[in-house]
Structure 1
Amino acid sequence: MKTLLKILGVIILLAVVYVIIAMLAFSKDYHFEKSVVINAPKEKVWQHVGSLKEYNVWDPFSKADKDIVITYSGTGDKVGDSYHWKGNDKVGEGEQSVTEIVPNEKLITKLHFIKPFEGDAKANLILTPEGNGTKVTWSIDNELNTMMKIMKPMMDSNMNTMFEQGLGDLKKIAEK
């Protein structure tokens, strides 16, 4: 019994040490990005990237809830166009709006998360020629509060999984 209590005490101590280190050492500025090369010209890739409606075809976040409700404002391919989503606990609720667009090159959006956590982020989709194909770089930037700093390793893992899935789906669609 004493051994079990010692092990439990060590685990609790390590958890507390991790929380303190995470709060002090992890930056509040969060950046995550992933890229894929798609064997298609950027004009063809842009058809699937340059509009919020097309983005939601391959976006893994909106696929995480088959009953998600998405309401668009505008056509989705102009500055100021947006959509609002409301889904289950995994998807939450929020809004995404186009803040900058350069056809065949980049789509920049602002994300406003409402549930489960309030917050804002900036997402970028950048297309650059690479050989006979197109390199698509998808990134997200936001500011982490203290609780989110503690969860950063879990966030990185989740973002990696979701971005990899999304870019893989985009590649399949754009290479057809």
Structure 2
Amino acid sequence: MSTYSVTRSTVIPAPAKDVFPLVNDFREWPKWSPWEALDPDMKRTYSGAESGTGARYAWSGDRKAGAGNMEITESREPEVIRIRLEFTKPFPGVNPTTFTFEPEGGGTRVTWSMAGEHKGIGKLFGLFMNLDKMVGRDYEKGLASLASVVASRRA
């Protein structure tokens, strides 16, 4: 069995109460997620709870954006958000994703991680592509954007 994990973190100079809501509400993700701009015509639907546990988000886009859905399965403010991330295109798979928020210095260390198993065509893909490098770059961009959004709201 082939498994993988991708983890990135950064310290955002703000308390968790200013950062947490931007991750806990999928309607806020277009402001900072590195994938939201991949397809300007991407279709998005929101269902379930407004935010927190039970909030759902689905997307369908072009070849770059793919298609899938997410559901927040656990939300404990201001510590952790767990998400069931399911891709349906281009490679089907379920990827448990976690955000943690820990006080550090005068700010909050935000850690974004995803883990899973390479299955089917994804297993073959995993032989040739470095998922940590590919997705890690996106996570770094997303965390930097998240920090920018928090900074602009505090200004």
TM score, norm. by length of structure 1: 0.79
2:47 is matched with which residue: 65, 73, 78?
73
The residue aligned with 2:76 is: 102
Q: Say which SS state the counterpart of residue 63 (structure 1) adopts.
A: coil
5 Å matches for 1:9-158? 28-145=2-119, 146-153=123-130, 155-158=131-134
Unpaired stretches in structure 1, ≥5 consecutive residues: 1-26
Q: Which has the higher strand share?
A: 2
Give TM-score scaled by structure 2 length: 0.90
Query: In 1, distance between residues paired with 2:151 and 2:86?
Result: 31
CA contact (8 A) 2:5 2:132 kept: no
Q: Secondary structure at the match of 2:51?
A: coil
Which range moved further: 120-129 or 69-78?
A: 69-78
Alpha-carbon offset, residue 83 of structure 1: 1.0
* Greater relative CO (CA pairs within 8 A, separation 6+): 2
Q: Identify the structure with the greater helix proportion.
A: 1
Q: Which runs of 4+ in 1 moved over 4 A?
A: none
Structure 2 CA distance for aligned equivalents of residues 76 and 148 of structure 1: 35
1:170 — aligned with what? Answer: 146
Where 1:175 maps in the other structure, the secondary structure is helix
Q: Kindly report the root-mean-square deviation, in angstroms, between the aligned alpha carbons of the 2 structures.
A: 1.4
Aligned twin of 1:19 = none
Asked if 1 retains the 8 angstrom alpha-carbon contact of 2:31 and 2:149, the reply is no
**1:69-89: per-residue Cα shift (whole Å, max 9, x none)?**
110003441322211100010
Contact 2:97 2:114 in 1 (8 A): yes
- Distance, in Å, in 1 between the alignment partners of 2:52 and 2:11 is 25
Kept after mapping to 2: 8 A contact 1:76/1:98: no
CA distance in 2, matches of 1:170, 1:76: 20
Q: Which runs of 5+ in 2 are unaligned?
A: none
Q: Which has the larger radius of gyration?
A: 1
Match of 1:66, SS?
Answer: coil
* Equivalent residues, number: 149
